[in-house]
Structure 1
Amino acid sequence: MKSDRPAPDLPEPLAQLVDAHTHLDACGAVDADGVRAAVDRAESVGVGRVVTVADDLAAARFAVDAAQWDKRVFAAVAIHPTRANVLDDVTKAEIERLARDPRTVAVGETGLDYYWPGKLEGCADIVEQVEGFRWHIDLAKRLRKPLMIHNREADHDLLAVLLDEGAPQTVIFHCFSSDANMATACVEAGYILSFSGTVSFKNARELHEAAKLVPDDQLLVETDAPYLTPHPYRGAPNEPYCLPYTVRALAALRGQDPEELALAATATAERVYRLPWN
């Protein structure tokens, strides 16, 4: 992602963190050297492991390759809901092959996006998105891997589809951006909520209230890099090394010590993704 703003400064390190959702390829780390450099920067501030996430087939192949190139990297693979109209039998077979890789720790990002249909040319319509979401739910259950959800303006229907299909054992709402009511419903269902740099935005008042309701053992932290760079660097290019900024902002909202929150989020990531220390 191009930006006219300079990259953020390296933050003060925190306890060993896991970036639960990033896009290394979109950050410009497109080969083994680039991946290693990005993760080296992250590790220098305590972000010792990252999950790089796919939104199309090329990104899924890259994610699994990146996880082979560097043992600090893990993959999540799926077709983004806005691209669910490409999910033919060949694409499904390839996503399933990649999802079975031992370095793939989740099926995602999948879900529903009601913002883009009608605005983005070629975007999957709602029916196509729901069909794709159902297929990814089934895949996650068959492989016994976590389901990583993208949700944009689709709270009610997402929960309804999960209920109708029967949710996998672990469901992760990446970049949680809904209100306190949705957070409560997700927590009660046993789902995991992952918070990105949006939680540091001053105008995200409903999200601030939601973030206070999530138990430590149902909470993850992520960058979603290169997007959603945390305050005060909003609009600058994001990378996994920026994660401590988000953790400190989230800790302030929740009235927690940042180191304690970092340790708790890391423990959750290790549990839900079954991460080794390599």
Structure 2
Amino acid sequence: MSNQNGGVDLPASLAAAEGAAALPDPGGFDAHTHMDIIGLPVDGLMAAGQAAGIRRVVNVGCDLPSSRWAVSAAAEYPDVYAAVAIHPNETGAVYREREPVLAAISAMAESPKVVAIGETGLDYYRDYSAHDVQQTWFRAHIELARRTGKALMIHDRDAHEDVLSILEEYAPWPPYSVIFHCFSGDAEMARRCASAGYVMSFAGNVTFKNADSLRRAAIVAPAELLLAETDAPYLTPVPHRGKPNSPAMTAYTIRFLAHLKKLDLADFCRHLQNTGAQVFGW
């Protein structure tokens, strides 16, 4: 699906994504969101998601308070699940309290509705935490994910080679146990992730006009290794770019990805649901 200049046919993909109707059965889910940052009532966010065909959400922690919030929301709402971790940008701030902080994350991870350890990983775009500190925390989160049998939800920004290298230290990985949240690599990285069996979760930025490399990665990624997410309240997909994001907006990204990959929408939703069940165990 390319235009004469070699780029992905963006207008057609966007048109396919803008349908107002709810996703067809079996619908979709938001694989990564931050409802605590959105700041709106959870029941309203979930009702809007259900109306769009978004059946479940995974609310993701970035530090101890947001991880606790995620666990609490998951306990209260049947279709809300949680991920817990210290975000790489937060690791420097808590480095001196590493052992008690990790103990708290480990205790939260025992909750049956905590389905992933994340978001963890490496962020070399910002300089909030030294690279070696981030890597130490990343390895600690990996070891927790392996010990608990939970999926590992990775934040990878400008750190592809180091992330892949550290993951390789712990190979082999069980199928569907590693998720690249808000996948940011190119087609070659998508091939490498697919070869290793890593799941790639695409957010609303795949719909942005300047994201041709990201769209090529989504085309290369096998449908059975794809997820869709919002990373709300950030990265709102077209046609609502610039407005606050919410789990319901995952429907636009799902429609966009289905058209991009030339898949029937209901069939693509079935792929997503099957992959979600494999990754998150719900």
Q: Same fold (TM over 0.5)?
A: yes
**2:82 is aligned with 1:108:** no
Match of 1:199 in 2: 206
List, as ranges, runs of 4+ consecutive aligned residues in structure 1 with deviation greater than 4 Å: none
Decide whether the 8 Å contact of 1:108 with 1:147 is kept in 2. yes
Decide whether the 8 Å contact of 1:11 with 1:244 is kept in 2. no
Q: 1:81 to 1:168 in 2, by over 3 A?
A: farther
Instruction: Using the TM superposition, name which of 20-29 and 159-168 deviates more.
Output: 159-168
Amino acid at match of 1:112: L
Match of 1:180 in 2: 187
Match of 1:4 in 2: none
Task: Give per-residue Cα distances to partners, 1:31-50, cap 9 Å, x unaligned.
Answer: xxx11111111011111111
Q: 1:96 aligns with which of 106, 110, 115?
A: 106
Q: Distance in 2 between matches of 1:134 and 1:146?
A: 14
Match of 2:36 in 1: 25
Query: Where in structure 2 are there 5+ consecutive unaligned residues?
Result: 1-17
**2:161 is aligned with 1:156:** yes
**2:22 is aligned with 1:13:** yes
**2:215 is aligned with 1:208:** yes
Alignment TM-score, normalising by the size of structure 1? 0.90
Q: CA RMSD in A?
A: 1.4
Decide whether the 8 Å contact of 1:144 with 1:168 is kept in 2. no
Match of 2:55 in 1: 48
Amino acid at match of 1:184: R
Match of 1:268 in 2: 275
Decide whether the 8 Å contact of 1:147 with 1:168 is kept in 2. no
Q: 1:80 to 1:50 in 2, by over 3 A?
A: same
Q: Distance in 1 between matches of 2:39 and 2:67?
A: 15
Q: Distance in 1 between matches of 2:111 and 2:223?
A: 29
For residue 257 of structure 1, report the CA deviation from its aligned partner: 1.9
Give secondary structure in 1 for the equivalent of 2:150: coil
**2:166 is aligned with 1:143:** no
Q: Distance in 2 between matches of 1:165 and 1:159?
A: 10
Query: Where in structure 1 are there 5+ consecutive unaligned residues?
Result: 1-8, 118-122
- Percent identical pairs in the alignment equals 45
Q: Distance in 1 between matches of 2:273 and 2:117?
A: 19
For residue 272 of structure 1, report the CA deviation from its aligned partner: 1.0
Q: Distance in 1 between matches of 2:257 and 2:184?
A: 13
Q: Distance in 2 between matches of 1:145 and 1:239?
A: 25
Task: Give per-residue Cα distances to partners, 1:74-117, cap 9 Å, x unaligned.
Answer: 00000001111214111111111111111100000000000001
**2:222 is aligned with 1:231:** no
